[in-house]
């Protein structure tokens, strides 16, 4: 994997956030929120590289990506390394009297392609031009190769009593429990409501991503989304001279590689 830089769009979004914070705080030294300040003093745990795999609209799955899968009781598959923590989380959730249902897990490339093509076809049928349909489809279904579900580390979990993927999902007792406890089992709520510009994905109060227990707790304590966390980790490792290679590249690099 070649050493690459962080997505330009993420940096741009961070810069916008920083200047907004400066405007609000008046000076460049505006005090950071308590949790962030405390985390900044402690080194950020990095976890193992596979746990930190970043897949988003600017970072496709690494070339030749493979994963060893385990099959869940409902027939869906996940990276076998996350099974123990996933089972522990679901068991605890059920013990709390709740009924979580996994409605999506690992997706192979062919499935993602089918979902994406179907979305475009439905939009075309609804009257969109080909160009407009492609643009609109990308807002709802990840372009094949850029869905986190292709890693085997992401899951959509809903309440048995409300299996609709919309904002109301956050009101279910299952989501409330998962949002409070997922961190303890190594999962993060991957697309929070206030980070869409950075993640490239709208608020999804059902999509959980495995990053390992230490990292999950650190992400929660920092108040950062995964992209921001990796950025902070990269800065820390650069300072310490322990920088690892995480698959991150800028839009330009991605375009160059694709051409």
Please give the positions annotated as active site: 204
Positions in 210-239 near Zn ion (CB under 5 A): none
Helices (H), the chain: 8-25, 34-41, 83-95, 109-125, 130-140, 173-181, 196-199, 213-222, 226-240, 251-258
**How many CB atoms within 10 Å of residue 66?**
8
Stretch near Zn ion under the rule CB under 5 A, chosen from 2-10, 51-59, 149-157, 180-188: 149-157
Stretch near Zn ion under the rule CB under 5 A, chosen from 39-47, 127-135, 205-213, 218-226: 205-213
| Residue 207 touches Zn ion, criterion: CB under 5 A | yes
Cβ nearer to Zn ion, comparing 141 with 198? 141
CA neighbours closer than 13 Å in the CB half-sphere of residue 68: 5
Positions in 67-106 near Zn ion (CB under 5 A): none
CA distances from 160 to 101, 152, 156, 164 (A): 6, 22, 12, 10
Cβ nearer to Zn ion, comparing 227 with 234? 227
Minimum distance of Zn ion from residue 191's CB (angstroms): 8
Cα–Cα distance, 252 to 236 (Å, whole number): 25
Stretch near Zn ion under the rule CB under 5 A, chosen from 153-161, 174-182, 211-219, 220-228: 153-161
| Residue 156 touches Zn ion, criterion: CB under 5 A | yes
Q: Which residue is nearest to Zn ion (CB)?
A: 207
Minimum distance of Zn ion from residue 107's CB (angstroms): 9
Give the pair of three-digit tokens for residue 94. Answer: 């059920």
Minimum distance of Zn ion from residue 106's CB (angstroms): 11
Q: Cα torsion at 216, 90, 207, 82 (round to 10°)?
A: 60
Instruction: List residues binding Zn ion (CB under 5 A).
Output: 156, 207
């Amino acid at each position: 994997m070649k050493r690459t830089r962080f997505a330009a769009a993420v940096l741009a979004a961070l810069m916008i956030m920083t200047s907004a914070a400066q405007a609000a705080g008046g000076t460049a030294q505006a005090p950071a929120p308590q949790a962030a300040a405390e985390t900044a003093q402690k080194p950020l745990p990095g976890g193992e590289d596979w746990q930190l795999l970043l897949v988003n609209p600017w970072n496709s799955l690494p070339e030749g990506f493979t994963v060893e899968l385990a099959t869940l009781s409902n027939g869906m598959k996940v990276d076998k390394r996350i099974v123990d923590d996933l089972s522990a989380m679901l068991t605890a959730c059920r013990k709390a009297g709740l009924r979580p249902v996994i409605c999506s897990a690992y997706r192979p490339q062919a499935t993602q392609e089918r979902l994406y093509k179907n979305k475009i076809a439905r939009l075309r049928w609804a009257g969109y031009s080909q160009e407009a349909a492609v643009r609109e489809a990308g807002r709802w279904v990840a372009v094949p190769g850029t869905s986190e579900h292709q890693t085997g580390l992401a899951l959509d979990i809903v309440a048995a009593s409300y299996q609709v993927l919309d904002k109301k999902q956050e009101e279910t007792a299952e989501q409330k429990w998962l949002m409070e406890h997922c961190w303890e089992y190594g999962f993060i709520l991957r697309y929070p409501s206030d980070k869409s510009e950075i993640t490239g994905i709208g608020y999804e109060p059902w999509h959980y991503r495995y990053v390992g227990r230490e990292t999950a707790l650190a992400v929660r304590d920092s108040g950062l989304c995964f992209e921001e966390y990796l950025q902070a980790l990269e800065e820390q490792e650069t300072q310490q001279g322990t920088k690892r290679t995480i698959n991150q590249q800028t839009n330009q690099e991605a375009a160059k590689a694709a051409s």
